[in-house]
A and B are shown apart, each in its own frame.
Chain A
Amino acid sequence: MSSVAPAHVHSAEVPQPAQHGKPGGIMRRLNFGTGLIGGIGLAIIAGVVTSQFVPSGYASPVTFAPMEGEYVYLAVLLGWVIGFMAGMGAFVGPIRWMLGRESTHLDAEYMAGKDLGRSRYWKYTTDHKVVGIQYLIVTFIVFGFGGLLAMLIRTELGATWTEVFSPAFYNSIIGTHGIAMIIAMIIAVSGPLGNFIVPMMIGARDMAYPRLNALSIWLLVAAVPCLISSLFLGGIQDGWSAYQPLASQAPIGMLGYQMTIIVFAISTGIASVNLMTTILTMRAKGMSWSRTPIFVYGIFAASLMGLYAFPFYQYSQILSLSDRVFNTSFFNPLEGGSVWLYENLFWLLGHPEVYVIIIPTAAVLMEILPVFMRKPLFSFNFAVAGIVGVVALSGLVWAHHMYMTGWAPAVNYPFMLSTEMISIPVGFLVLVVIGTLWRGTSWSRLPLMAVYAVVFNKMIGGVTGIYLSDVPADQYFHGSMFVVAHFHYMLMGAGFFGAMGGIAFYFPKMTGKILDERYGSIGLWTVFVGFQLTFGSMFVAGLQGQPRRVLQFDEQFDISNWISTIGAYTIGVGTLIFLGAIIFSWRDGPMVSGNPWASKSLEWQTPTPVPLENFAVLPVVTERPYNYGVPDPYDEELRAHDGDELESAGAR
């Protein structure tokens, strides 16, 4: 292969293997369109073939359920996922590797979307910035879908005098809303910002495994239609937790949920491996752990938790699937299955997943704060300690979702202990935030406003959390609206507002435009007000004793539900305003410089739009992050401890 002329990569002579055809080879012909064709085509083929093989009207010997629909739908889903990934070109790389055909530098550049213009967003592109934007769009789509269902739910609950939707459909929209929002919130920060920002933040040219990066996003794209399609086939009538054995009574839409989770878990696992490897091995020269920005810690922690937790969720769904399709009995108590097994497997993911959502958000806020307070992050070590503490405890608290299941009353004591211990590391994070706010003149821009909103919500969510972490109080609150309000304050109040802040903060870097301050703020505060209305009054409903996931209830709950519905509509309008601001600013907002916030951290030192490989020369880090601020004048006065001149100086 030395016959081929060597390529010049960053002023290095690199010998190249033989170049087969044009750079990129078959990938030149593959894009989202071929993906759709492949997916839909294979889905149709699989469906037709299966329906030929299954005798019509064949019913399961165990459950008498007509199985034809199940098999066909399962085949269609599998065909869609495989065909779509094949059409996108996900299998080209592995097959090339297996055949031992190395790709050249030109291939890699084509795969990274060099001089492809807009069309690279529709291809299996390996550039981490493209993947970040793709994640952003997918997040919007999934979030919008979940939000739409949320509006339907609140409409049903607001119309206390009638059933707007049939109970079955209502159950399916709460389930679909739940899982759609969980997916949206999991990827909301780790996806767009984790992929777009982290490599630049640590001074790398790309992710560790660019192809896996593309694989993770397109697997996610493949999973979304599975979820949406389930809504038209009876839906997920079991809440997002899809508890067995209720889930095995659901119509075939359940298969859509299970396939979504299985695919999504693979996508998340790959993304986690990729991010963690990048952070571990590709930090710039001189970026020791004490010089690594806190956001990198946050993403690392989230990836770690996703890495060990998601397989449990995935396997819980694989077992459910085989119960459904092959009549196994993991969760069928008649045949020796156990409902507690499902609950354990599910919550082994279920609780770390909460921190997968919250930790990156908190980390983004800690990135935003120093820039806008012109002040170093207060007690960086404590921030790290908080994140580490949360990760360490996250795997030991799952059973606090099962206090009332009676699976093992004795373990309620240790789980109550571990759960309430978590409030300590979380408290660290709060301390870091207020310590950074302390004595700072705030530059009130949209991202900083989001920080205030998040801290406010998180305090409420955290305080209500200690009621639920405590078994005696949980004996009243478990399964009531109080729980719903609590985790919305945590996941939405922190997750959604944090995502808004983070996107507003990194918008200039991602798009070259600045997010419109005025309308962005209007959107943010509208959402904030609506949020307090909705979930504040939901707390009241929970205290009065309204169970969750009901569509009819005693009229003593009417007033709080009406308020909730009004608030929910307000949230919807606010979100749309924010979205409108994003659309406008993205299309024709004013261009801005590479570093509009005058930030000192590495990702802002790159030019905008960011060139293909971020840094022409890899940077060398010589300082700790967040070196803002001036020496504290009070130190002088402390030394000459004389009270009088404090008054004059203190006014600042």
Chain B
Amino acid sequence: MTTTPVEASDNKPSAPAVPLSPTTGEPMTVIARRGRVGLWLIIVMSVSGTIALIISYSYLWSLNVNGGWAPPGAKLTANQTNDTIGKVKGSFAPEWPFWAILGMLILATVFMWWGYRSVKRGNQGALIAGSTLALIMTLATLVAQWIQVTNFPFGPANGAYASAVLLLCASNIFNLLLLLFILTGIMNRARKGLISRAVSYQAQAASYWMVWVVIAFLLGCLVTTFMVESPNVDPAIFGGFKEQ
């Protein structure tokens, strides 16, 4: 493969119509394209993880091994071979908090999108306002999520449903913490003018990422709303055989 010494176009000393990256000297458009590709790939990775969670939830829901899906208070079909667990409280979690949390996150996403849209039209202040509002809203969502987790009518040791729901909430909390970090960064950079009409790809990336997080939350809401009672009413009994 031969190489001809031609000055490649990505670093012509031309007048920077688009600003250049201070570190590598490439035009910000190139950096932005790179950033978009990377964002999509990271979203692919996150999708895989979320799917793993959803698979776990629905698989356990469909099997109801040893009748252990439902929290004890909700339904006592199983022959509880292991009574060492203190099963004091127990029932399925109410659905509405999931949707409420989803709604709050959607609101935050809308704020962020509004900021991004307006900075593309050159309205720097709107981006600062939007990202700040989104940040506050995300914080509120985190608090709400925490309240929900602490008020579940079951503990982690109360069967498969409890485990699956709690882990969904844990991944939500992780996502929200990540969002807090991202939005703080966006807010600061917007204030410093590092995100401007010319260079707005980071705001764009944050907005798209928030959309994906909303979708992840939505998946959680769907399974926790429409997959509650296990369809398997005659589950396998641990360690024993059916009567012939």
Chain A residues at the B interface, C-beta cutoff of 8 Å: 7, 9-17, 61-62, 64, 94, 97-100, 102-105, 107-108, 203, 205-206, 208-209, 269, 272-274, 276-277, 280-282, 284-285, 291, 293, 307-312, 314-316, 318-319, 322-323, 326-330, 333-338, 340-341, 344-345, 348, 600-602, 605, 617-625, 627
Query: Complex formed: what's the CA distance from A309 to B38 in Å?
Result: 17
Interface centre among A11, A64, A624 (most CB of B within 10 A): A11
Which of B9-17, B102-110, B214-222 makes up part of the contact surface? B9-17
Given contacts A307-B44, A622-B4, A625-B1, 20 further A-B contacts (CB under 8 A): A9-B11, A13-B13, A15-B16, A97-B185, A100-B191, A269-B45, A273-B45, A276-B41, A281-B30, A285-B6, A311-B48, A315-B52, A315-B56, A316-B52, A328-B167, A329-B157, A329-B163, A336-B60, A618-B8, A623-B2
Distance in Å: Cβ of B95 to nearest Cβ of chain A: 20
**B181 (CB) vs chain A CBs: closest residue:** A98
Across-interface contacts of B45 in A (CB, < 8 A): 269, 272-273, 307-308, 310-311
**B14 (CB) vs chain A CBs: closest residue:** A12
Q: Which of B22, B44, B46, B55 contacts A104 (CB 8 A)?
A: B22
Chain B residues at the A interface, C-beta cutoff of 8 Å: 1-13, 16, 19-25, 30, 33-34, 37-38, 41-42, 44-46, 48-49, 52-53, 55-56, 59-60, 63-69, 78, 81-82, 84-86, 156-157, 159-164, 166-167, 170, 181, 184-185, 188-189, 191-192, 194, 238
Main secondary structure of the interface of B (DSSP, over half): helix
B1 touches A291 (CB 8 A): yes
Query: Complex formed: what's the CA distance from A12 to B25 in Å?
Result: 7
Across-interface contacts of B9 in A (CB, < 8 A): 285
Q: Which of A273, A335, A617 contacts B6 (CB 8 A)?
A: A617
Q: A94-B181, A344-B55 are in contact. Are A334 and B66 (CB under 8 A)?
A: yes
Across-interface contacts of A274 in B (CB, < 8 A): 38
Distance in Å: Cβ of A523 to nearest Cβ of chain B: 32
A311 touches B49 (CB 8 A): yes
Q: A104-B22, A620-B4 are in contact. Are A281 and B49 (CB under 8 A)?
A: no
A14 touches B22 (CB 8 A): yes
Number of A-B contacts (CB under 8 A): 234
Q: Which of B10, B19, B23, B65 contacts A618 (CB 8 A)?
A: B10
B33 touches A281 (CB 8 A): yes
Across-interface contacts of A61 in B (CB, < 8 A): 84-86, 157
Q: Which of B21, B38, B44 contacts A208 (CB 8 A)?
A: B38
A328 touches B163 (CB 8 A): yes
**B82 (CB) vs chain A CBs: closest residue:** A334
A322 touches B48 (CB 8 A): no
Q: Which of A14, A205, A277, A328 contacts B162 (CB 8 A)?
A: A328
Q: A14-B22, A329-B157, A341-B60 are in contact. Are A335 and B8 (CB under 8 A)?
A: no
Across-interface contacts of B159 in A (CB, < 8 A): 329, 335-336
Query: Complex formed: what's the CA distance from A186 to B9 in Å?
Result: 37
Query: Complex formed: what's the CA distance from A198 to B172 in Å?
Result: 36
Distance in Å: Cβ of A65 to nearest Cβ of chain B: 12
A333 touches B13 (CB 8 A): no
B64 touches A108 (CB 8 A): no
A336 touches B65 (CB 8 A): yes
Task: List 5 tightest A-B contacts by C-beta distance, closest first.
Answer: A336-B68, A9-B25, A336-B160, A619-B3, A618-B8
**B25 (CB) vs chain A CBs: closest residue:** A9
Across-interface contacts of B13 in A (CB, < 8 A): 11-13
B52 touches A7 (CB 8 A): no
Query: Complex formed: what's the CA distance from A605 to B9 in Å?
Result: 20
30 contacts between A and B (CB under 8 A): A13-B16, A61-B85, A64-B84, A97-B185, A100-B189, A100-B192, A100-B194, A269-B45, A272-B41, A272-B45, A277-B34, A281-B30, A281-B33, A307-B48, A310-B45, A311-B45, A312-B52, A315-B56, A326-B157, A330-B56, A330-B167, A334-B82, A335-B85, A336-B64, A336-B69, A336-B161, A337-B60, A337-B65, A340-B63, A341-B59
Across-interface contacts of A344 in B (CB, < 8 A): 55, 59
Across-interface contacts of B69 in A (CB, < 8 A): 336
Query: Complex formed: what's the CA distance from A272 to B85 in Å?
Result: 43
Across-interface contacts of B66 in A (CB, < 8 A): 333-336
Distance in Å: Cβ of A198 to nearest Cβ of chain B: 15
Query: Complex formed: what's the CA distance from A107 to B24 in Å?
Result: 11
B3 touches A602 (CB 8 A): yes
A281 touches B84 (CB 8 A): no
Query: Complex formed: what's the CA distance from A429 to B48 in Å?
Result: 29
B22 touches A16 (CB 8 A): yes
Query: Complex formed: what's the CA distance from A624 to B163 in Å?
Result: 55
Distance in Å: Cβ of B111 to nearest Cβ of chain A: 19
Across-interface contacts of A620 in B (CB, < 8 A): 3-4, 6, 8
Q: A13-B13, A208-B38 are in contact. Are A100 and B160 (CB under 8 A)?
A: no
A105 touches B22 (CB 8 A): yes
A627 touches B185 (CB 8 A): no
Distance in Å: Cβ of A292 to nearest Cβ of chain B: 10
A108 touches B1 (CB 8 A): no
B22 touches A327 (CB 8 A): no
Across-interface contacts of A322 in B (CB, < 8 A): 156, 163, 167, 170
A208 touches B164 (CB 8 A): no
B185 touches A100 (CB 8 A): yes
B12 touches A12 (CB 8 A): yes
